[in-house]
Structure 1
C-alpha cells in the first residue's frame, strides 16, 4: 500500500527527524572537504524575464534548473576565449553566466546570469562546477539538448541590463532517486526572492569529488517534489501525488463517501486549464491500491498534475490504516467487510494489506494498551489481600477447542487482573487439560507480581480443586454458587424425568432458590448452611420443624403458609428421589465451597462479551485471537462502572426483555450508552507505530515467546501431502471399477 508504484514494495523512507540527523552528521565531513565555489544567481529583472520565458517555453522550475546543470557540465572545458568573461580580484558580483532556454516556439532565448561567491558559512542553493578561486568560469553556456518536447533552432540573443538589479538565488526543490542528499540546516536557507517555487528543500550537488561521501537517495525513500502555492505548508511526496501527515493529524482525519463521477466533476472544476501552458486539461480518476482514489490532470502538451484523495503516513494511505485497524478494534470480520465493500462497489484494501496492518501495528498497540491497564489495576490491589474469580472460555463449542482463555477478576470491584491463553499444542493436543494449566499459570503470575490472594473462586473443576487442596491449602477455594445451582438443577431435572416423579418438577426452582438462600445467609458457617439445607426435605412435605441432625436451627424461618396441592408425600417416590439428590455424599462434602456466597456472574458476562470480538464460529490465528480477547477486556474495563439511566422524575429507567429461562418478559435496568474513549488513543498509537516503523510493512512478523507456533507450526502432526496423492487414495462409489466389485 501507500505510494509504491508498479507493485514495487520495500522499506519505507526515513522520517524527517532521521533525515535531519543524517544531514547534520554528513555536514561535518562535508565542511572538511568543501572549497569556496561560485553560486549561480540571477538579477531581479533577469529573474522576472526568466519567469516569463519559463511560462512561454512550457518549462517547470525543475526542468529549467536541471537543464542548467546539464548545460554547465557539457560546456566545461569546451568554451572559447570569446565566450568567457574573466573577473579579477575578489569582487565576483560582476561575473556573468549566459545560458539559453528553449522558447515556446522552439527558439532558444539567451538569459544572462550573474555569479557571485557564497560564504562558507551558508550553503549555496545551487552550486556551479567552479570554485571562487578558479577564474575561468564560462560567460555563456549554450544548451545542445533542449527540454523534451521543444525542437532545437538557432538561438536569438536577448540581453538585459543587470548592472543595478537585485540578486536572487536560483534554488532547486526536487530530487530524483539516485541523487545525493546535500548536508544543510533548514534554518540556514534564505529565500531572497520570496517565491515559494524557489524555496530550497533538497539541494543537488553533482561534482564527483565533492559528493563521494554523501548518502545516495534509495528507491525505498520518499523524495520531495515541488509544492503548490496553495499547499506550501503541506509536506508532499516526490511526485506531488500524496500529502504526508503526522500521527496526530492522521488520528483526527475524517472521511466521507464520494462517487467517482462527482470526484471527476470536482477535478474538472478545480483545474480546468494547465497551470504551465494554460491549455485545457483532461481529468481522470484511477483506483489506488486500497480505499483511496487518484486524480490525474493532463494537458495536450503532457503537463501532468496528480492528486490523491487520502493523505499518507509511512507510505500507506491513512484511510487504509484506519479502516484496517477499525476492523479489528470493532470486532468485525475482514471477509464480511470485504463483501460489504464489494456489494457497495467501494475501493477496499487487500487481505494481505489488512493482515500486515493488523500484525505490525494494530495488535502491538492493543497489547500495549492492555499492559498499561493491567499494570494500573494490579498496583491498585497490591495493598490489601484480594478475592479473585477465575473462569475459562474456549474458542469453539464442544470438546474440540484450540484456544483456552482464562480470566481472573477481583470479586468486589470486577477489575480484570489477568488474562491467560493456552493452546492445545501446549498440552499434548488434549483440550480438557487446558483449563487447569491456564489456572495454575495465571495464579502464579499474579502472585509473582505482588498480589496477595486470600481466596479463589472457580467452578467445580476437579483438577483445579485438587491443585488448590494439595498445593495452596492456605488459600480459601470457593466455588461459584451459580455453577453449583446450575448443576443441582440438572440433577433434579433428571430425577424428575420419570412419570412417577413428575410432581417434583414444581419444586425444582424453589429448591434452587433455597440453595442460594442457604449460601447467602449462612455467613461462612458450614453448620448453619447444612442445617438450613437439611430442612428442605421436611419443608416440601409440609413439615416445618424437625429433629436437628446437623446442628443449628430445627425449624423453617418463614411464617404461616397457605395450603397447597403441591406438597410431596413423605416417603413417596418423588420425595425419595429428592432426598437422594440433596443428601448425596459428594454433594454434602463440597458444601463448604459455597459458604462464602461467591459467584462469577460478571466474569460470565465478560466471556459472553468476548463473542462480539471473537465469535466461536470463526477461527483465528493465535495473535489475532489473543488481541480480540484483550479488546473485549479493555472494552469491559472501560464501561463496567457506567451509571444506570433514569427517567425525568429520577426513577430508574427499565425496559421489557424476554427471558428464555423465565419464559416471560422481565424488567431490566438500562445503563448509559458506551463512549469507547479508549479507541482514539489506541488509533493514535497505531499511527505512531506506522509513522516510526523503519522496516517494510510486508515483512515477517515477530513471534511472541509464548506463541504456540514455536512448538509446532500447525495443529496437524505433519504437513499436507500433494492434492493429487489425496485424490488418488480417496475415490467415490461411482469411481469403483467393475473388476473391484468381484
Structure 2
C-alpha cells in the first residue's frame, strides 16, 4: 500500500462495523477498513464492548489517506472531526438508504401517511440514482417531491403524507450527508466466526484474520463464463423482486497452504524459544465477562423468583394462569 500510495497520491478507504450477535447482547465488534480501489481489507480492530480504552487507529504518515467512508454514526463523526481533521469523511449510500427506508416504513404505518407505502422502494432507488450523479446530487434528490406531487400528482401537496415526506427529504442533516457518499466484507466473516456461537477474544481475533486473508485472496475473482457470462436469478427478501446476480469463478484457498508453511518454518526455527514470552504475540487483556456486576450463585438468583398460580373462569371455562414474581428487598420489606 505504501508503494501504491506514491503512485495514486490519494488513498480512499471504506469502514464498517460488525457485531458478533444480533440485538443488544453483542460482546465483540469488528471494525474493518477496506481500500476502495482494490476492495482489499487493509486493517481491522476487534473491540470488546466493556473495554473503554481501546486505543485508536493511527494512519501511517507515509500513506496518503484522504477519504474515509463510514456510516452516519455520531461517535465515528466525532472521532473524525477531532482526531483526523485532515481526512475527509464520506458516508455509505447503503447505510443512508437503509435508514431512510426504515424511517418511511415506520411513518407510513400512520393512517394519514399510508399513501407513502407504495413509494418506499422507489424512494430508496431514487437515492441510489442521485448518488451516481454527484454534480446534481442535491438537485435530483429534491426533485423527488416535484415528481410525486406536481408532475404526476400521485400525492396531494396539502396532505399529511406529503408534508411528512417533505420533512424527511429536506432534512438538513440528511442533505449535508448526501454531499459525501459511497458504498462499502463482513458476510464472509460469518463463515469463520458465526454470530450464534460464542468465542473467546483470541479466537475471534484469529478467525477475523483468516477471514481477511480469504477475502483479500478472492476479492478480484472474475465473473464465470461459458460462451457468455454466467448469472443466477434470485429473489432477495429485502427487495421482493427477481433479480439477476453475477456468478463468479470458484474461490481459491492458497493462503491456507502458505499459512501452514509459515507455521512449520517458525516451529523449526531454533532461534525461537517458545517458553520465552517475547516470542509470543501480545494480546490485549480483556475481561472474560462483559457484565458489570459479579455473577451471583444460581441458588440466590432462583430464590428471588416465586410462581403464583390462579384460576380464572370465563363462560364456564377455567383457565390456569401462572405469574412469575420478582422479589426485591427494600427497607426490610418486599416490593
What is the TM-score normalised by the length of structure 2? Answer: 0.80
After superposition, what is the alpha-carbon deviation per residue over 1:37-82, rounded to whole angstroms, capped at 9, x for unaligned?
xxxxxxxxxxxxxxxxxxxxxxxxxxxxxxxxxxxxxxxxxxxxxx
2:14 paired with 1:389: yes
Following superposition, the deviation at residue 390 of structure 1 comes to 0.9
- How many residues are paired up? 304
Conservation of the 8 A alpha-carbon contact between 1:423 and 1:708: no
Higher strand share: 2
Closer/same/farther in 2, CA of residues 493 and 704 from structure 1, 3 Å limit: same
Conservation of the 8 A alpha-carbon contact between 1:495 and 1:578: no
Following superposition, the deviation at residue 427 of structure 1 comes to 0.8
2:177 paired with 1:623: no
Conservation of the 8 A alpha-carbon contact between 1:518 and 1:529: yes
Of residues 649, 652, 657, the one that matches 2:234 is 657
2:221 paired with 1:638: no
Following superposition, the deviation at residue 729 of structure 1 comes to 6.8
Question: Which residue of the partner structure matches residue 36 of structure 2?
Answer: 411
Per the alignment, in what secondary structure is the counterpart of residue 708 of structure 1? Answer: coil
Following superposition, the deviation at residue 631 of structure 1 comes to 0.4
Per the alignment, in what secondary structure is the counterpart of residue 222 of structure 2? Answer: coil
Per the alignment, in what secondary structure is the counterpart of residue 199 of structure 2? Answer: coil
Question: Which residue of the partner structure matches residue 483 of structure 1?
Answer: 95
Of residues 580, 586, 596, the one that matches 2:173 is 586
Looking at structure 1, the residues matched to 199 and 75 of structure 2 have their Cα atoms a distance apart, in angstroms, of 28
Following superposition, the deviation at residue 680 of structure 1 comes to 1.3
2:60 paired with 1:447: yes
**1:157-236 → structure 2 map (5 Å cutoff):** none
Following superposition, the deviation at residue 702 of structure 1 comes to 7.5
Per the alignment, in what secondary structure is the counterpart of residue 239 of structure 2? Answer: coil
Closer/same/farther in 2, CA of residues 708 and 401 from structure 1, 3 Å limit: farther
Question: Which residue of the partner structure matches residue 119 of structure 2?
Answer: 507
**1:41-52 → structure 2 map (5 Å cutoff):** none
Looking at structure 2, the residues matched to 685 and 638 of structure 1 have their Cα atoms a distance apart, in angstroms, of 17
Following superposition, the deviation at residue 593 of structure 1 comes to 2.5
Looking at structure 1, the residues matched to 82 and 269 of structure 2 have their Cα atoms a distance apart, in angstroms, of 51
2:157 paired with 1:534: no
Following superposition, the deviation at residue 703 of structure 1 comes to 6.6
Q: Which runs of 5+ in 1 are unaligned?
A: 1-376, 429-436, 544-563, 601-605, 735-742
CA RMSD of aligned residues (A): 3.0
Question: Which residue of the partner structure matches residue 567 of structure 1?
Answer: 154
Per the alignment, in what secondary structure is the counterpart of residue 681 of structure 1? Answer: helix
Closer/same/farther in 2, CA of residues 399 and 719 from structure 1, 3 Å limit: closer
Conservation of the 8 A alpha-carbon contact between 1:388 and 1:453: yes
Of residues 454, 457, 466, the one that matches 2:78 is 466
Question: Which residue of the partner structure matches residue 495 of structure 1?
Answer: 107
Question: Which residue of the partner structure matches residue 74 of structure 1?
Answer: none
Conservation of the 8 A alpha-carbon contact between 1:655 and 1:670: yes
Q: Which runs of 5+ in 2 are unaligned?
A: 308-335
Bigger radius of gyration, 1 or 2?
Answer: 1
After superposition, what is the alpha-carbon deviation per residue over 1:76-126, rounded to whole angstroms, capped at 9, x for unaligned?
xxxxxxxxxxxxxxxxxxxxxxxxxxxxxxxxxxxxxxxxxxxxxxxxxxx
Following superposition, the deviation at residue 510 of structure 1 comes to 1.7
Looking at structure 2, the residues matched to 662 and 530 of structure 1 have their Cα atoms a distance apart, in angstroms, of 25
Question: Which residue of the partner structure matches residue 319 of structure 2?
Answer: none
Per the alignment, in what secondary structure is the counterpart of residue 417 of structure 1? Answer: strand
Of residues 294, 299, 314, the one that matches 1:727 is 299
After superposition, what is the alpha-carbon deviation per residue over 1:464-510, rounded to whole angstroms, capped at 9, x for unaligned?
21232344333211101111111111121122112332221122222
Per the alignment, in what secondary structure is the counterpart of residue 25 of structure 2? Answer: coil
Of residues 123, 130, 133, the one that matches 1:521 is 133
Of residues 247, 259, 264, the one that matches 1:670 is 247
Following superposition, the deviation at residue 577 of structure 1 comes to 1.8
Conservation of the 8 A alpha-carbon contact between 1:391 and 1:458: yes
Closer/same/farther in 2, CA of residues 382 and 607 from structure 1, 3 Å limit: farther
Closer/same/farther in 2, CA of residues 394 and 678 from structure 1, 3 Å limit: same
